[in-house]
A and B are shown apart, each in its own frame.
Chain A
């Protein structure tokens, strides 16, 4: 059974696109046939994270307006052969695609792919409504920060209004040291407010920035904590029961080294 997921958050900059790219790559690494659809028309980024910008020929707007078949617009990933990207236009804006068009497109693509992952734009306007229209599962990404949690709460409410009841949560950029000191919301606080099933807790990791700039999602980097967290998320999406990562505390020596800049 193929699944259509939408990755959304309300607030910008919490890691929707990063999450989309990593889950996509992770599912493809497991042998699933995956299509990623970028719906952040006008502010597309997903192609950059996957290092596919220079291979784009057609975009989502070309497809929904009927200029080309969707298969022509798909960009195959250079490393993972069963991962495809359907990029969006950088010159048009959100009004160029409407919800019905995306529903039709996804219904057609569903025949070919095991997973279709839609990267949603920030906000709750037209772009958001378009992005969620086709999805059967919504993954809400948030950060341990009151503004991000507040927006995630709003988004979950909006998803409920659109009859999307299957909602999952990913908490991104957790800094265990700050949580321990009580300077950052912990999972208990977040769960108390949002009360939706959490499928991922991703620690803040410098490797994510490195990976983004290289165009290779962090999930492909061995030894990265964020990469491992994403691998676990992918396993949970596939229905496996994986325990959450223990927050890694920085040891005394590591901190001492950092202090002297010896890293």
Chain B
């Protein structure tokens, strides 16, 4: 018998594909049946991928709720789910950016390692990095950024437009720094930061000022 729903295991979760001509109600009933049968496929915390645009938005929403009730994540995009704590979802699309809540900026993501060239940290909330941010690395945060180490990479605080966001580092010498919609870049000649500094917006300009740590 040809199943209405086919499940394929992927590195980051389960990919669902559907038999041709199966209606949404059939699919939903079939999935619910599978979920309630306690199939070992459906482990809590697993991400389930459904091809984008296969169902209408409200139907996807119904599926999302159904999977959430069973402790699973639902996604229409095939990519690795964010490893950050669930309270700090990654910035996905510009459309979602506007939805980001103000409270997110109050939360904080803690990263206990050095961010090396080519690595990227994105968070809706504030970010605390216990380590260095190396040249070529990117940190983008909805809130503020605190670096307990040397910052030589690219940092963007207040990515949703929060002008009160700031960037603090033991040695703040980023290649480029953005706060809200303002951009500043490092001077062309090498400047060594000798003490902890904070970058913030004042009079519509990004300024650096020393801080005590």
**Chain A residues with a Cβ under 8 A of chain B:** 146, 150-151, 153-154, 156-158, 160, 192-193, 195
Shortest CB-to-CB span from A108 to chain B, Å, is 27
Contact assessment for A157 and B150 in the assembled complex, using a CB-CB cutoff below 8 Å: no
Contact assessment for A192 and B150 in the assembled complex, using a CB-CB cutoff below 8 Å: yes
Of the candidates A153, A156, A160, A195, the one whose C-beta lies within 8 Å of that of B135 is A153
- Top 5 nearest A-B pairs (CB, nearest first) are A157-B116, A153-B117, A154-B118, A154-B117, A153-B116
A157–B113 CA distance with the chains assembled, in angstroms: 11
A158–B114 CA distance with the chains assembled, in angstroms: 13
Which of B116, B117, B134 has the largest number of chain A CB atoms within 10 A? B116
A91–B136 CA distance with the chains assembled, in angstroms: 35
Contact assessment for A150 and B132 in the assembled complex, using a CB-CB cutoff below 8 Å: no
Shortest CB-to-CB span from A157 to chain B, Å, is 4
B119 located at the interface, meaning its Cβ lies under 8 Å from any Cβ of chain A in the complex? yes
**Which residues in chain B, 107-160, are within 8 Å of chain A measured between CB atoms?**
113-114, 116-119, 132, 134-136, 150, 152
Beyond A153-B116, A195-B114, 14 additional contacts (C-beta under 8 Å) are: A146-B135, A150-B136, A153-B117, A153-B118, A154-B118, A154-B136, A157-B116, A157-B118, A158-B118, A160-B113, A160-B116, A192-B150, A193-B135, A193-B152
B136: which A residues are within 8 A, CB to CB? 150, 153-154
Interface residues of B toward A: which range?
10 to 19
A151–B136 CA distance with the chains assembled, in angstroms: 10
Which of A146, A150, A157 has the largest number of chain B CB atoms within 10 A? A157
A192–B117 CA distance with the chains assembled, in angstroms: 14
Instruction: Give the secondary structure class of A's interface.
Output: helix
A195–B134 CA distance with the chains assembled, in angstroms: 11
Contact assessment for A154 and B116 in the assembled complex, using a CB-CB cutoff below 8 Å: yes
**Chain B residues with a Cβ under 8 A of chain A:** 113-114, 116-119, 132, 134-136, 150, 152
Contact assessment for B150 and A150 in the assembled complex, using a CB-CB cutoff below 8 Å: no
CB-defined A-B contacts under 8 Å, sample of 20: A146-B135, A150-B135, A150-B136, A151-B117, A153-B116, A153-B118, A153-B135, A153-B136, A154-B117, A154-B118, A156-B116, A157-B117, A157-B118, A158-B118, A160-B116, A193-B132, A193-B134, A193-B135, A193-B152, A195-B114
B117: which A residues are within 8 A, CB to CB? 150-151, 153-154, 157
A157: which B residues are within 8 A, CB to CB? 116-119
Shortest CB-to-CB span from A100 to chain B, Å, is 15
A151: which B residues are within 8 A, CB to CB? 117
Which of A153, A154, A195 has the largest number of chain B CB atoms within 10 A? A153
B152: which A residues are within 8 A, CB to CB? 193
Closest to A195 in B: B114
Shortest CB-to-CB span from A234 to chain B, Å, is 28
B118: which A residues are within 8 A, CB to CB? 153-154, 157-158
A153: which B residues are within 8 A, CB to CB? 116-118, 134-136
Closest to A193 in B: B134
A153–B152 CA distance with the chains assembled, in angstroms: 13
Closest to A161 in B: B119
A154–B137 CA distance with the chains assembled, in angstroms: 9
A160–B132 CA distance with the chains assembled, in angstroms: 15
Shortest CB-to-CB span from B108 to chain A, Å, is 23
A192–B152 CA distance with the chains assembled, in angstroms: 11
A156–B119 CA distance with the chains assembled, in angstroms: 11
Shortest CB-to-CB span from B151 to chain A, Å, is 12
A160–B119 CA distance with the chains assembled, in angstroms: 11
A71–B138 CA distance with the chains assembled, in angstroms: 47
Shortest CB-to-CB span from B83 to chain A, Å, is 11
A192: which B residues are within 8 A, CB to CB? 150
A158: which B residues are within 8 A, CB to CB? 118
B134: which A residues are within 8 A, CB to CB? 153, 193
Shortest CB-to-CB span from A143 to chain B, Å, is 16
Closest to A157 in B: B116
A154: which B residues are within 8 A, CB to CB? 116-118, 136
